[in-house]
Amino acid sequence: MAEIEAVEVTRSYRMDGVSVDALRGVSLTIEEGDYAAIIGPSGSGKSTLMHLLGCLDRPTTGTLLVGGRDVGTLDDSELAELRNQTIGFVFQSFQLLARTTALDNVALPLVYRGVRRAERRKRAAEALDAVNLGHRIGHKPTQMSGGEQQRVAIARALVGEPSVLLADEPTGNLDTVNGDEVMGILERLNKERGVAVVLVTHEADIAARARRIIRVRDGLIEAVAEAPEPS
């Protein structure tokens, strides 16, 4: 079963009686263990698409299946539950709590899931290990480099054991060295754990690392480029 399957999905926003068609009929499949990059100009619909893939929103028309469930038929709490079970989010701006240790930042999603404290700390420490920050669990984001902060954010996304990681410009605030390191970690999680990675990027060399590049334009998928199979 595909992780995510979108069939002729549209999303229109209505503002002051005016309708904006952000997505105009997008069909897309994210397979288990996939690695896809979404590119396209500003305003083309990338964020709208990521919000839909991440169960933060529902299509206006069309069908969106996440983990085999039809998003359009779920109420808000069912959608939130599906999102928590399936999706991890990574943002350009990290979105960490500045005065909270790495361990507590990473453990936070488990609080909302009712996981007990000792178990939360154990799982958060494991997730920080997985991003090579096992030695920094007591540090706060203010004491860390941008690359380290993004790795904490990846650990937080990972701690709920999602099958899909959605990353919106994950290297957008990082220099090349830190950006490379973050990409290396996403790729290792993809290879070793089979977590599907879908990222949005403006950087051609970042996009080129994915197995598939999806180019969005004016609310439509304009082109899909598959990377050549490694020989």
Q: Is 93 in the site for ligand ADP (CB under 6 A)?
A: no
Q: How far apart are CA 12 and CA 24, in angstroms?
A: 8
Q: How far apart are CA 94 and CA 60, in angstroms?
A: 29
Q: State which of residues 47, 60, 85, 145 lies at the interface with ligand ADP (CB under 6 A).
A: 47
Q: Is 201 in the site for ligand ADP (CB under 6 A)?
A: no
Q: Is 46 in the site for ligand ADP (CB under 6 A)?
A: yes
Q: State which of residues 45, 141, 160, 162 lies at the interface with ligand ADP (CB under 6 A).
A: 45
Q: State which of residues 20, 97, 98, 111 lies at the interface with ligand ADP (CB under 6 A).
A: 20
Q: Is 209 in the site for ligand ADP (CB under 6 A)?
A: no
Q: State which of residues 1, 15, 18, 118 lies at the interface with ligand ADP (CB under 6 A).
A: 15
Q: Is 43 in the site for ligand ADP (CB under 6 A)?
A: yes
In this chain, which stretch among 35-43, 100-108, 139-147, 170-178 interacts with ligand ADP, using CB under 6 A?
35-43
Angstrom CA distances, 3 to 31, 65, 75, 82, 173, stand at 5, 8, 20, 12, 29
DSSP conformational letter for 175 = -
Shortest Å distance, C-beta 229 to ligand ADP: 29
Contacts of 57 (CB under 8 A, 6+ apart): 11, 48, 51
Q: How far apart are CA 113 and CA 110, in angstroms?
A: 5
In this chain, which stretch among 43-51, 65-73, 130-138, 154-162 interacts with ligand ADP, using CB under 6 A?
43-51
Q: Is 170 in the site for ligand ADP (CB under 6 A)?
A: no
Q: How far apart are CA 207 and CA 212, in angstroms?
A: 8
Q: How far apart are CA 162 and CA 32, in angstroms?
A: 11
Angstrom CA distances, 228 to 33, 43, 212, 216, 231, stand at 17, 29, 9, 21, 9
CB 96 within 8 A of CB 120: no
Q: Is 77 in the site for ligand ADP (CB under 6 A)?
A: no
Q: State which of residues 16, 17, 42, 114 lies at the interface with ligand ADP (CB under 6 A).
A: 42
Q: How many residues bind ligand ADP (CB under 6 A)?
A: 12
Q: Is 48 in the site for ligand ADP (CB under 6 A)?
A: yes
Q: How far apart are CA 153 and CA 39, in angstroms?
A: 22
Residues that bind ligand ADP (CB under 6 A): 13, 15, 20, 22, 40, 42-48
